[in-house]
Amino acid sequence: MIEAVGLRKVYGRKVAVDDLSFTVRPGIVTGFLGPNGSGKSTTMRMILGLDRPSAGRVLVDGIPYAQHRNPLGAVGALLDAKAVHTGRSAFRHLQAVAATAGIPASRVGEVIDMVGLREVARKRAGGFSLGMGQRLGIASALLADPSTVMFDEPVNGLDPDGILWIRNLMKHLASEGRAVFVSSHLMSEMALTADHLVVIGRGRLIADEPVQAFIDRTRPRGVTVRSPQVEQLRELVSAGGGRIAPAADGAFDVQGLSPQQIGDAAARAGVALHELTPQRASLEEAFMELTADSVEYQAHGAPEPAAWAPPVQNSPQQETAQQKVAQEVAR
């Protein structure tokens, strides 16, 4: 369980995280959603005490992470695939992490099998693909069998097989009563795995609610209607006060009427309907709508580039990302 209260992180003059409060509860998968550079990784580093908050605090099971006597058992974290020494084998890496807390050697073999790295465990981690690196990071996170797991963009670089595996893994970990906190900039991914969402944009909290509630916040969409009796359909829609417009593939998009109203009116008029589909906002659309509001809101106060466009200015995270890329290239 993670509780953040008024978290704030300032790098120089750039506010990376601003007054962020949320709770990650056990038993469910909590998605941490926001565009790249919105402060997700910074927040996760603050949870682990790797970054010091400029203000506010974050507790893990009631106390700061650094005060846990068994920190690896409090939070198992996949921060990014690059939190591994490239010159060390996966096996030795896990052995070294396990040794700090006296986790038995047998557990190292267990987690290696769990993530499917048995064949490459003796190879240097520097030669791993992004997907293998993610699996090693997950193995490391699960070493101490922790009560909270925290994954930063875990599906990055995984093949479809691996993505399915990690979705099921997160659901399984939550079903055992663990708190699961997973970040992503992919809304579609969260729609499939998360029960609850913490959404941030530009370091600020935008939503902290169940996935369905988040989707329900979007404006109602129209209804897709298909009928062979086009003229009668037009008439009954305009009679009912709705608007109708042709959509793709011979279907029609009806606004201003509910599916029930359209269906009932069609039945009374004897109009055959071949399709009557309410258009529900996807998580992606819900996200775009809410963030569009956030852009408008932001534009009044801060004369900076739009928060939801890819940031143009060099944020501290971007710089570190660039440095990392440079280091990798150099290596």
| Residues contacting other proteins: total by CB under 8 A | 63
DSSP state of 155: T
- Is residue 97 involved in binding other proteins (CB under 8 A)? yes
Strands (E), the chain: 2-11, 14-24, 29-33, 55-60, 75-78, 148-152, 179-184, 196-201, 204-210, 223-226, 243-246, 252-255, 275-278
- Is residue 305 involved in binding other proteins (CB under 8 A)? no
Q: 8 - beta bridge partners?
A: 55
175, 260, 314, 322: residue in contact with other proteins (rule CB under 8 A) = 175
Of 20, 13, 51, which Cα lies nearest the Cα of 38? 20
- Is residue 48 involved in binding other proteins (CB under 8 A)? yes
Residue among 135 and 178 whose Cβ is closer to other proteins: 178
Shortest Å, Cβ 159 to other proteins:
23
Shortest Å, Cβ 18 to other proteins:
17
**Can you spell out the DSSP letters for 47-101?**
HTTSS--SEEEEEETTB-GGG-SSHHHHEEEE--TTSS-TTSBHHHHHHHHHHHT
DSSP state of 124: B
Binding segment toward other proteins, per CB under 8 A, in 210-218, 229-237, 272-280, 298-306: 210-218
Shortest Å, Cβ 88 to other proteins:
5
- Is residue 168 involved in binding other proteins (CB under 8 A)? no
10, 14, 36, 82: residue in contact with other proteins (rule CB under 8 A) = 82
38, 43, 134, 147: residue in contact with other proteins (rule CB under 8 A) = 147
The amino acid sitting at 159 is: D
130, 213, 269, 302: residue in contact with other proteins (rule CB under 8 A) = 213
Query: Taking a C-beta distance cutoff of 8 angstroms, is the pair 132, 62 a contact?
Result: no
Torsion on CA atoms 322, 163, 134, 181, rounded to nearest 10? 90
Q: Rounded to an integer, what distance in angstroms lies between the CA atom of residue 209 and that of residue 100?
A: 37
Query: Taking a C-beta distance cutoff of 8 angstroms, is the pair 43, 7 a contact?
Result: yes
Query: Taking a C-beta distance cutoff of 8 angstroms, is the pair 220, 257 a contact?
Result: no
- Is residue 223 involved in binding other proteins (CB under 8 A)? no
Binding segment toward other proteins, per CB under 8 A, in 32-40, 207-215, 221-229, 250-258: 207-215
- Is residue 319 involved in binding other proteins (CB under 8 A)? no
Shortest Å, Cβ 142 to other proteins:
11
Buried b (16+ CB within 10 A) or exposed e, 296-329: eebeeeeeeebbbeebeeebebeeeeeeeeeeee
51, 110, 253, 289: residue in contact with other proteins (rule CB under 8 A) = 51
Shortest Å, Cβ 280 to other proteins:
15
40, 196, 202, 204: residue in contact with other proteins (rule CB under 8 A) = 196
Where do runs of H (alpha helix) occur along 143-258?
A: 160-175, 187-193, 211-216, 230-239
- Is residue 1 involved in binding other proteins (CB under 8 A)? yes
Positions that interact with other proteins (CB under 8 A): 1, 25-28, 45, 48-52, 61, 65-66, 68-75, 77, 79-80, 82-89, 92-93, 95-97, 99-103, 124, 140, 144-147, 174-179, 195-196, 209-210, 212-213, 324, 327
